[in-house]
Structure 1
Amino acid sequence: MKSNFKLLSFFVLAAVTLSSCSSDDDSPLIEEAPIITNFEYGEGSSHGDEQVGYKGSDIHLEAEIVAEATVSSIALDIHAHDLEPGEDEVAWDFKQIYTDADYLVKNPVFHEHVDVPANIPSGEYHITLTVTDSNGNSTEIEGHIHIMDAVTTSALSIDESVVRGTDLHTELFIEAVHGVHNVTVDIHAHGLTVGEGEQEWHFEQVYEEGYHGETSVEFHEHIDVPVTAPVGEYHMVITIEDEEGNTSKIDTHFNVTL
Structure 2
Amino acid sequence: MKTTNVMVAVLLLAASFTACKKDQPEMAKPTIDGLEIGIGNNKLAHPGNDLHIEAMITAAGNIKDVVLEIHPESGTGWEVNNTYTEGFAGLKNAEFHKHIDVPTDAPVGDYHGHLKVTDESGQITETEFELKVVADPTLPKASNFEIGLNAAGNDLHVEATIDAPNKIAEVVLEVHGTSWEQEVSYKDVAMVGQITYNLHKHVNVAAAPKGHYHLHLKIIDQSGKENEFEEHFDKL
Distance 2:113 2:129 in 1: 5
* 1:31 aligned residue: 27
Number of aligned residue pairs: give it: 141
Q: Which residue of 2 aligns with 1:178?
A: 140
Q: Is the alpha carbon distance of 1:102 and 1:35 closer, same or farther for their aligned partners in structure 2, counting shifts above 3 Å?
A: closer
CA distance in 2, matches of 1:52, 1:107: 27
Aligned to 1:41: 37
Whichever residue aligns with residue 121 of structure 2, its letter is N
Instruction: Tell me by how many angstroms 1:122 deviates.
Output: 0.8
Q: Deviations over 1:134-173 (max 9, x none)?
A: 111111111111111241xxxxxxxxxxxxxxxxxxxxxx
Q: Paired residue for 1:215, among 162, 165, 178?
A: 165
Aligned to 1:4: none
Measured at CA, do residues 214 and 115 of structure 1 come closer, stay the same or move farther in structure 2, by a change above 3 Å?
A: closer
| Identity score, percent | 28
Work out the CA distance in 1 between the residues paired with 2:28 and 2:142: 50
* Aligned partners of 1:83 and 1:121 also within 8 Å: no
Contact 2:62 2:120 in 1 (8 A): yes
Task: Report whether the alignment pairs 1:140 with 2:123.
Answer: no
Match of 1:88 in 2: none
Segments of structure 1 that go 5 or more residues without pairing to the other structure are 1-14, 85-90, 152-175, 182-211, 218-241, 244-258
Contact 2:65–2:88, Cα closer than 8 Å, also in 1? no
Structure 1 CA distance, aligned partners of 2:141 and 2:55?
29
Query: Which runs of at least 4 in structure 1 moved beyond 4 Å after TM superposition?
Result: 15-29
**Measured at CA, do residues 118 and 17 of structure 1 come closer, stay the same or move farther in structure 2, by a change above 3 Å?**
same
Structure of higher CA gyration radius: 1
Aligned partner letter, 1:215? P
- Cα distance, 1:108–1:30 mapped onto 2, change above 3 Å: same
CA distance in 1, matches of 2:49, 2:101: 6
Q: Note closer, same or farther for the CA distance 1:178–1:214 as it changes in structure 2 (3 Å cut).
A: closer
CA RMSD of aligned residues (A): 3.3
Q: Distance in 2 between matches of 1:180 and 1:75?
A: 28
Q: What's the offset of the Cα at 1:124?
A: 1.5
Correspondence for 2:57: 65
1:120-135 alignment runs, 5 A limit: 120-135=106-121
How far has the Cα of 1:49 moved from its partner? 2.4
Matched, 1:56 2:56: no
**TM-aligned CA distance change 1:58 to 1:19, over 3 Å:** same
Q: CA deviation at 1:102?
A: 3.3
Instruction: Report how far residue 53 of structure 1 moved.
Output: 1.3
Q: Distance in 2 between matches of 1:113 and 1:20?
A: 53
- Following superposition, the deviation at residue 76 of structure 1 comes to 0.5
Q: TM-score scaled to structure 2, two decimals?
A: 0.50
Q: Deviations over 1:82-103 (max 9, x none)?
A: 356xxxxxx2111011111434
Question: 1:145 is aligned with what amino acid?
Answer: L
